[in-house]
Structure formats: C-alpha cells, structure tokens
Amino acid sequence: MLKILVTFALRQEGISFERRLRRRNAKCDLVLGFLDSQGITIFWLGTGVRRRVQFERVLLDGHFDLVINSGFAGAVQKVLEPGDFVLGENFSSPEWWDRLKANALFEASGPFVSVDTIAGSAAKTRIAGDENIVALDMESAQVAAVCRKLSVPLVSARMISDRSDEEIPGIFLGKGIRRLKDVSEAIAFAGRMIVLRRRLADRLVELIRAINLQTGEGE
C-alpha cells in the first residue's frame, strides 16, 4: 500500500476531506487517518508554502511514496467553472501525469501557473495569453520543487474556486467593506466555498481510490 501525503495551503481547504478519514489523530503538524484501508497523512503548507522548511522535514522523516498537492485554484481558461477538478501537468510527476491525464475525474488537465498573490480577472486574462495554461495557484511550483529535490512522486490536483473573469471578494483580501454589495458578494462566495470543500473531498476520495487501482492496491 502506498504511503500518501495530502497537502493543502490551509486547514479550511481540506477540512471536509479530513473528516472523511477514519481513526483520525493529530501528531505534531500532521493529521493521520485511514480512507478505506489506505493510510493518509495531511499537512498544511501555509499560503504560498510559508512552511516550506517543515514540509521538507515531513517528507524526509515520513518516507512517503506519493504527495497529492491539492486545494483550490483560479481558472485561467474561460470554459472552467467553480467545482471543476483539474490536473496540473507541469507540477505532477511524468509517470503519474501519464496515468491520470485521461481520467474522467478531471474536467481539464494541463499546465498550472504559480503566482505570489491572489490574482484578479486582469491578471488571469494576461496569463491566458498562453492558451495552454489551465489554472493558477500560490503553492504548486514550490511543492513541485521540494518533491523533485527529494525525489518524491507528486500529483497536483486542484478544484477551481473562481472563474477566469471573476474577482475574489475584497473582504477576503483584507480590503474591508467599501459598499453594501461587498457584503452580499462575500456571503455568496463563502457559501460557494463551503459547497466546494465538500466537492473537493469527494474528488480526492475518488482520486486516491483510482491511484490505488492503478498500483493494484485497490483490487
């Protein structure tokens, strides 16, 4: 059975997935549990992988067979909608990309772009100048760099949270309330994310089961 580490930027992103695990227990900075008979470990990277040093230590100490880098991403392609599950080509190990790219779990697959700050619609439009880019996030590039350095196989699989022409409500970016509409937009976005967290958990469960089938562990 593969030893799998699942990473999220923040605990809120992965809380619904965490609750799917049986026999959960916290150990230092990790949550350990079981999905079916598969052992799963969860680690929170911090936004932009602020906890990179701790992440490297976890990989060195844990001897994991696979890292699944997950969470949310902003859409770059116009066809993508919130709730779509996407596979990152350039931030996944080639062998796992080849195995998973045609899986019906994913609405799209292709290159991701990592950014330093949350991108608005204008930034996403600029990035879309490269027609191959699928989505953007703030962690995948650094996670991939660490996994390459330590020779740990990686799958980057994320869920779209915002459309290519959509702005994240300013309240979530620390801009405060500037107009009454800001409140209603923030409430709507927060409600969406509650639903998407559950959907992300569903897809991750399916992905892990598909991975086990690929390796013969789910037979």
pTM above 0.85, yes or no: yes
Question: For 216, left (φ over 0), alpha (ψ -120 to 50), or beta?
Answer: left
Q: What does the pLDDT read at residue 170?
A: 56
Q: What does the pLDDT read at residue 128?
A: 75
- Parallel, antiparallel, or unpaired for β 154-162 and 112-114? unpaired
pLDDT in tens, 104-134: 999 999 999 988 877 777 777 777 776 689 9
pLDDT in tens, 131-157: 689 999 999 999 999 999 999 999 999
Q: What does the pLDDT read at residue 173?
A: 56
Question: Residue 74: pLDDT band by 50, 70, 90 thresholds?
Answer: very high
Whole-number Å distance between alpha carbons of 51 and 202: 26
The domain ranges of the chain are 4-166+197-214
Task: Decide if 92 contacts 30 (C-beta within 8 A).
Answer: no
Whole-number Å distance between alpha carbons of 99 and 189: 34
Q: What number is the average pLDDT over the span 208-218?
A: 83
3-state secondary structure of 150: coil
Question: Residue 169: pLDDT band by 50, 70, 90 thresholds?
Answer: low
pLDDT in tens, 53-66: 999 999 999 999 99
Q: What number is the average pLDDT over the span 166-185?
A: 68
Q: What does the pLDDT read at residue 177?
A: 65
Q: What does the pLDDT read at residue 198?
A: 97
- Parallel, antiparallel, or unpaired for β 154-162 and 72-75? parallel
Whole-number Å distance between alpha carbons of 204 and 215: 17
Whole-number Å distance between alpha carbons of 87 and 100: 8
* Residue 193, number of CB atoms within 10 A of its CB: 18
Q: Does domain 4-166+197-214 have CATH number 2.40.10.220?
A: no
Using CA atoms of 62, 51, 23, 207 in order, give the dihedral in degrees to the nearest 10.
Answer: -80
